[in-house]
Homo-oligomer: A and B are copies of this chain.
């Protein structure tokens, strides 16, 4: 005899947080489901299985799978092994600070160093543009100035962000 099990419905509080987390998620350009899954788990007293997530959120198991894997990549949720059970149980990382740290280290920081390299490359491209006569001297100086401004800001951001994280 198998499932068909309709799990206990979610409390109003959890439903509202799920909705808010979903909106926040797509506000920053991520799929809504990601936020919903995290919201669900963050207010869940016990770790949940893929099937439970899929059922409670009314999304396909495929979505639940991809969503949870993305969240795990950010260390926002983790797997919990219950002895004698083959299912994966998932729970939210309780320390929100850790999640922020993870997002920074795994996502932001690499992006920032890449950006630095890209700006330097643009400065070289600019020299090429001048030598090839694609731009006159006035435009050269103007662009160079702006690119240096970008470089300057980029460096400061790279220094301030890890510092700011400390203060959370």
Copies of this chain present in the complex amount to: 2
Residue of B nearest to A10 (CB): B134
5 pairs, CB–CB < 8 Å, chain A vs chain B? A16-B122, A17-B122, A27-B29, A156-B168, A163-B167
Name the distance in Å between A26's Cβ and chain B's nearest Cβ.
7
| Measured CA separation A150–B99 after assembly (Å) | 12
In angstroms, Cα B168 to Cα A150, docked, is 12
State the majority secondary structure of interface residues on A.
helix
**Closest chain B residue, CB of each to CB of A123:** B13
What is the 8 Å Cβ interface bit string for chain A, positions 127-167, against chain B (1 contact, 0 not)? Answer: 01100001100110011001101100100110111011001
* A12 and B45 alpha carbons, distance in the complex (Å): 55
Q: How many residues of A contact B (CB 8 A)?
A: 45
Contact B29 A146 (CB under 8 A): no
Q: Which residue of B lies closest to A156 (CB)?
A: B168
Q: Is the CB of B164 within 8 A of A168?
A: no
On whether the beta carbons of A125 and B164 are closer than 8 Å, the reply is: no
Contact B168 A160 (CB under 8 A): yes
Q: Is the CB of B45 within 8 A of A139?
A: yes
| Inter-chain contact A143/B96, CB cutoff 8 Å | no
Min distance, Cβ A136 to any Cβ of chain B, angstroms: 9
Which residue in B14, B153, B156, B164 is a CB contact (below 8 Å) of A143?
B14
In the complex, the answer to whether B160 meets A125 with C-beta atoms within 8 Å is: no
Q: Do the beta carbons of B138 and A45 come within 8 Å of each other?
A: yes
Complex Cα gap A163–B147 (Å): 26
